[in-house]
Structure 1
Amino acid sequence: MTAYDHKQTMLKGSITALITPMTADGAVDYEALGKLIDWQIESGTHALVAVGTTGESATLSMKEHGDVIEFFVKRVAGRVPVIAGTGANNTAEAIELTAHAKAVGADFALLVVPYYNKPTQEGIYQHYKAVAEAVDMPQILYNVPGRTVVDMSEETVARLADIPNIVAIKDATGNLERGKSLIERVGDRLVVLSGDDPTALELVKLGAKGNISVTSNIAPNAMSQIFSLALAGKFDEADLINEGICHLHKDLFCESSPQPVKYALHKMDKIDTGIRLPLVWLSKSSQVIIDNALQKANLI
């Protein structure tokens, strides 16, 4: 077993793509972040993502991005794996962020498909290959065409699976047929993780190893139970718990994420009201949706 094989076994269960809490004036709130990290781990979350899409990676400066990853690593202190969001639409920048994540001790790097540039499949392949060759740490592909516009093909994933330190893929397409095909095609080489809360449990039933989640920001205990049970083959029990919170998977996307989940955590007295433009605080009409969702899930 190689070092990368060992790392792959760490990627499973409920993985929270944690928000980056901010004060009302938009500064990173490290005190609140530390408390969120501890709460997540105490609630059974299996791994944490620092500065992913949900962590507002797009509006943090390079220095803030690196500082937040370093804070995660120190606060987690080895209790669960830390996955650092280090993707960018600039390959040199992605290499710089990934190198920093390795230097401060993150366990994995999570790299989104380059957005806005609209690279070809060959461009996507060369981007990931360049980062993997530049930084010797385990890396996770992240395909989310709803945000990046470009969709990484199965053929490109299969090519990238041959690179030793590319160890997993976060599939946020929400397409179960495609997810099933991906598992059949590369599941012997890559850990397949869902990145879509509404379909995640079904994808695990098809062979995925876990879920990188928005919902687990506010319901970490329930989500950790769901995916622990599912991985143990106890699908009926997992379904039962999921039924009690499955409305959250939809309601937390009533506006652009992480606007709804930040409001929810504020309503739960976990964070202040900070969020960065061009994202804005949740509208009054959507606040009603989230208030009702939280009450239905017994979270307030």
Structure 2
Amino acid sequence: MFSGSIPALVTPFRDGSFDEAAFRKLVDWQIECGSKALVPCGTTGEASTLSNAEHHRVIEICVEQAAGRVPVIAGCGSNDTQNALLHMNFSKKAGAAAALCVAPYYNKPSQAGLIAHFSHLASSCDLPIVLYNVPGRTVTDIAPKTTIELANKFPDQIIAIKDASEDLSRVADHRMGIGRDFCQLSGNDELALPFNAAGGKGCISVTANVAPALCAEFQQACADNDLVAARKLNDRLYPLHYAMFEDSSPAPVKYAMSRVLDYVTDEVRLPIVSCSEHARKAVDAALEHAGLV
């Protein structure tokens, strides 16, 4: 269902509030630059500091502005199973194509708890689910055996994974263990090239917020098995991938976007603060290396 460059969209703020006008422009720009799907209300979208009303408004606007040009994978994750289901039910009504559901954070559920959590979501709402494994943030790791069990148990519901485990061997683990076409998307920009080579279909990307055309071109080169072009583009983007995490995300990417787009500010919400001078210098150098400024 999904492939290519898929930005995990920032949520633009202005004077403490969601900047709807800027977000609409951002959605249009992403689609025009070749992004193949959009993810609102993920980690980069600061979903953890959005109220439920704001969370749903961001999803609603993303679907409305995309207007069927590309699918929307709505961020629906929560460490509260019932709240995740609330987000899924809303996203289904709003017209999202799928729900991105992160492993519950802070609670530290067991693998049995993860199976129960995702089974409840899959059984309670028919919106397709993209599992999101990012143990560096959630502590809990969705083990390959758990992913395989869930995907085989709910073949029509659990259709993909965003894997930010940094373990490239899992691409083969999932391919071997799931007896159907299961979409694997990298959650790490800097690992997208080897991830795709192992069988991945694309990347849910932070860098694509600021470099959507380059990221789309890179992913197309991977899909075309044009390794020479993919390497060249990867080298151009590589410093930017790391610069996006020189400080707490999404502060660096918002700063980068404020340099490239005149309608997006670098404003973030507490407990995230604007990125440091060190991070700004890293972002500036990476933007110059990529030819974006």
- TM-score in terms of structure 1 length: 0.94
Q: 2: CA distance between counterparts of 1:98 and 1:41?
A: 24
Structure 1 segments, 4+ long, off by >4 Å, are none
Deviation at 1:14, TM superposition (A): 0.6
Deviation at 1:80, TM superposition (A): 0.4
Q: Do 1:22 and 1:275's aligned partners in 2 also have CA atoms closer than 8 Å?
A: yes
Equivalent residue, structure 2, for 1:156: 146
1:185 is aligned, of 177, 182, 186, to: 177
Q: 2:208, 2:62 → 1: CA distance?
A: 17
Counterparts of 1:167-186 in structure 2, within 5 Å, are: 167-186=159-178
Match for residue 20 of structure 1 among 7, 11, 15? 11
1:182 and 1:77 map into 2 onto residues whose CA distance is 33
User: 2:136 aligns to what?
Assistant: 146
Residue 180 (structure 1) shift: 2.8
1:142-173 deviation digits (Å, cap 9, x = unpaired): 00000000101111111100202111011111
Report if aligned partners of 1:141, 1:169 keep a CA contact under 8 Å in 2.
yes
* C-alpha contact 2:171 2:199 (8 A) present in aligned 1: no
Write the deviation string for residues 81-137 of structure 1: whole angstroms up to 9, x where unpaired.
100000100000000000000011001100000000000001000100101111111
In the alignment, which residue of structure 2 is the partner of 1:298?
291
2:54: which partner in 1? 64
The gaps in structure 2 that reach 5 residues or longer are: none
- Structure 1 position 189, deviation (Å): 4.2
Deviation at 1:270, TM superposition (A): 4.0
Structure 2 distance, partners of 1:244, 1:124, is: 38
Distance 2:288 2:229 in 1: 22
User: In the alignment, which of 219, 222, 232 is matched to residue 230 of structure 1?
Assistant: 222
**Which of 209, 234, 241 in structure 2 is aligned with 1:249?**
241
Inter-CA distance 187–76: structure 2 relative to 1 (3 Å threshold): farther
Please state how far the C-alpha of 1:26 moved relative to its aligned partner.
1.7
In the TM superposition, 1:51-130 aligns within 5 A as 51-130=41-120
CA contact (8 A) 1:180 1:203 kept: no
Listed one character per residue, the Cα deviations across residues 246-280 of structure 1 (whole Å, up to 9, x for unaligned) are 11111111011111000100122341232100000
Q: Mean alpha-carbon deviation: is it higher for 250-259 or for 180-189?
A: 180-189
Structure 1 runs not aligned, ≥5 long: 1-7
Instruction: Give yes or no for contact 1:183–1:208 (8 Å, CA) kept in 2.
Output: no
SS at match of 1:245: helix
Deviations 1:157-200 (A, max 9, x none): 11100202111011111121233322332373421111011111
- Counterpart of 1:84 in 2: which secondary structure? strand
- The answer as to whether partners of 1:88 and 1:111 remain within 8 angstroms in 2 is yes
CA distance in 2, matches of 1:90, 1:216: 29
1:266 aligns with 2:258: yes
Gap change, CA 1:273 and 1:120, over 3 Å in 2: same
Q: Which amino acid aligns with 1:178?
A: R
Whether contact under 8 Å (1:37, 1:75) holds in the other structure is: yes
Letter in 1 for 2:125: V
Q: Does 1:43 align with 2:33?
A: yes
Q: Which amino acid aligns with 2:257?
A: L
Match of 1:289 in 2: 282
Identity across the alignment (%):
44
SS at match of 1:48: coil
How many residues align structurally? 290
- What is the Cα-based RMSD across aligned positions, in Å? 1.1
- Give the Cα separation in 2 of the matches to 1:139 and 1:252: 27
Residues 201, 243 of structure 1: CA spacing in aligned structure 2 closer, same or farther, 3 A cutoff? same
Letter aligned with residue 110 of structure 1: L
| Structure 2 CA distance for aligned equivalents of residues 278 and 295 of structure 1 | 29
Q: Partner amino acid for 1:203?
A: F
Using structure 2 for the length normalisation, give the TM-score: 0.96
Shift of 1:241: 1.4
Q: Secondary structure at the match of 2:17?
A: coil
Further displaced range: 230-239 or 68-77? 230-239
8 Å CA contact 2:4–2:203 kept in 1: the answer is yes
